Amino acid sequence: MNLRNFYRRSSTNLNKIMIILSGGTGTPKLLRGLKRIVPEENIYVIVNTAEDRWVSGNLVCPDIDTVLYTLTDRIDDDKWWGIKGDTFFTHEILKQLGYLEPMMLGEKDRSTHIFRSEIIRDGFTLTKSIEDLRAFFRIHAKVLPMSDDPVATMILTPRGRMHFQDFWIKNKGKPKVLDVIFDGLDKAEPTSEVKNALKFEDSVIIGPSNPITSIGPILGLKGIRSMLQKKKVIAISPIVGGKPVGGPAAKLMSAMGYDVSSAGVSQCYADFLDVLVVDHRDDCVIPEVSVLKTDTMMGSLERSIELAKFIVDLV
Ligand code: GDP
């Protein structure tokens, strides 16, 4: 479908508010396409914060930062974290001094963390710090942390409990996973900005993110699942050709008792899912869910735009 036909067919949807639940890789790939076909101010991204961690004195928010950098076209889209062309002198010198930071942080990226942490140290919320960053970066889309309360994803392994980042970065995702625990989630509240965004819209998109560690914490916040049960929910499966495109989703899904397939993804969302968009390479029949097939592999900006058009047509 060319862009002119798309605009003619989708003119009403282009002015609709698009609410999207996001992690830090698959959904940002969709956002880079979406922001090119709908007015950016109509995009509301509710982002996972359960992978956030204080590193070297500052709060690193991997999923939020990937969303911010994607919306400003500065994301390093080889790795899908950090800023294109960033330098890593501080991280390297700290390593020479004998302190290995748990995550690689570039200089430009680190300035985001310092700025955000100063706002939090001054007594303001994470949401306020992201509002300030959004204004500084001139981002028109709303970027909403799921909660201002701290939540930490912990992985239980035979070697003990470890932070998700230590499981994935330091231990390269190798330990057997016995359980996934979200410390603090039972006490965490969704922000009023998140609740308002969900209250006024009748449809919600769940991007192709890890259903356990990226979308799971958002769904675990008080009241979110019951709000979604009243809406049309469209999810895009992160499974392509029978496996995740990258990341630990397969290991985490099977550890939590889900089949590693689009059907398994739909089980994670079983109580509210209406439409599941799956890759055209995968066979998938799911009772009570409308399954739509298309090419969901977003290896380029053009592919992200094509998938975004497909989703906008559904909303
Ligand atoms: P994380 O916070 O870095 O774990 O990021 P997400 O949870 O947002 O994204 C990880 C998921 O994105 C993985 O499960 C991948 O399968 C999925 N993913 C990455 N690229 C693509 C893509 O091009 N298409 C689809 N359908 N899924 C993708």
How many whole angstroms from 228 Cα to the centroid of ligand 1?
Answer: 22
State the CATH number of the domain containing residue 24. 3.40.50.10680
Task: Give the pLDDT score at 161.
Answer: 97
| Average pLDDT estimate for 31-60 | 97
> For ligand 1, atom 18, which residue shows the shortest CA distance?
26
How many contiguous H segments (helices) and E segments (strands) does the chain have? 13, 14
Q: Is 232 helix (H, G, I), strand (E, B) or coil?
A: strand
How many whole angstroms from 246 Cα to the centroid of ligand 1?
Answer: 6
Contact 279, 261 (CB under 8 A): no
Q: From the CB of residue 16, how many other CB atoms can be counted at a distance below 10 Å?
A: 16
Query: Which ligand 1 atom sits closest to the C-alpha of 48?
Result: 2
How many whole angstroms from 97 Cα to the centroid of ligand 1?
Answer: 35
Q: 2 versus 16: which is more confidently predicted?
A: 16
Position 8 confidence tier, pLDDT thresholds 50, 70, 90? low
Position 15 confidence tier, pLDDT thresholds 50, 70, 90? confident
Q: For ligand 1, say whether the CB of 63 is within 6 Å of any of its atoms.
A: yes
Cα torsion for 115, 118, 124, 126, to the nearest 10°?
Answer: 50
Position 285 confidence tier, pLDDT thresholds 50, 70, 90? confident
Q: Give me the DSSP letters along 86-142.
A: ---HHHHHHHHTT---SS---HHHHHHHHHHHHHHHTT--HHHHHHHHHHHTT--SE
How many whole angstroms from 215 Cα to the centroid of ligand 1?
Answer: 11
Task: Give 24's contacts (C-beta < 8 A, 6+ positions apart).
Answer: 47, 48, 51, 62, 63, 64, 65, 66, 67, 80, 81, 209, 214
What tens digit of pLDDT does each residue of 112-134 get? 999 999 999 999 999 999 999 99
Task: Give the pLDDT score at 85.
Answer: 97
Count the domains in the chain: 1
Please name which of 276, 302, 306 lies closest in space to residue 5, comparing C-alpha atoms.
306
Query: Which ligand 1 atom sits closest to the C-alpha of 238?
Result: 27
Q: Is the confidence at residue 252, as pLDDT, over 60?
A: yes
Task: Give the pLDDT score at 200.
Answer: 87
Q: For ligand 1, say whether the CB of 26 is within 6 Å of any of its atoms.
A: yes
Q: What own/partner pairs with CB < 8 Å and gap ≥ 24 does 312-315 have? A: 312/10, 312/13, 312/14, 312/18, 312/34, 312/37, 312/38, 313/6, 313/9, 313/10, 313/13, 314/234, 314/275, 314/277, 315/13, 315/16, 315/18, 315/203, 315/205, 315/232, 315/234
Pocket probe mutation, ligand 1, options 209, 258, 294, max atoms within 8 Å of Cβ: 209
| Average pLDDT estimate for 94-119 | 98
Q: What are phi and psi of 221, to 5 degrees?
A: -70, 145
Q: What are phi and psi of 193, to 5 degrees?
A: -65, -40
Share of the chain above pLDDT 70, in %: 96
Structural domain boundaries, residue 146: 3-314
Q: For ligand 1, say whether the CB of 24 is within 6 Å of any of its atoms.
A: yes
Task: Give the pLDDT score at 13.
Answer: 64
Q: For ligand 1, say whether the CB of 216 is within 6 Å of any of its atoms.
A: no
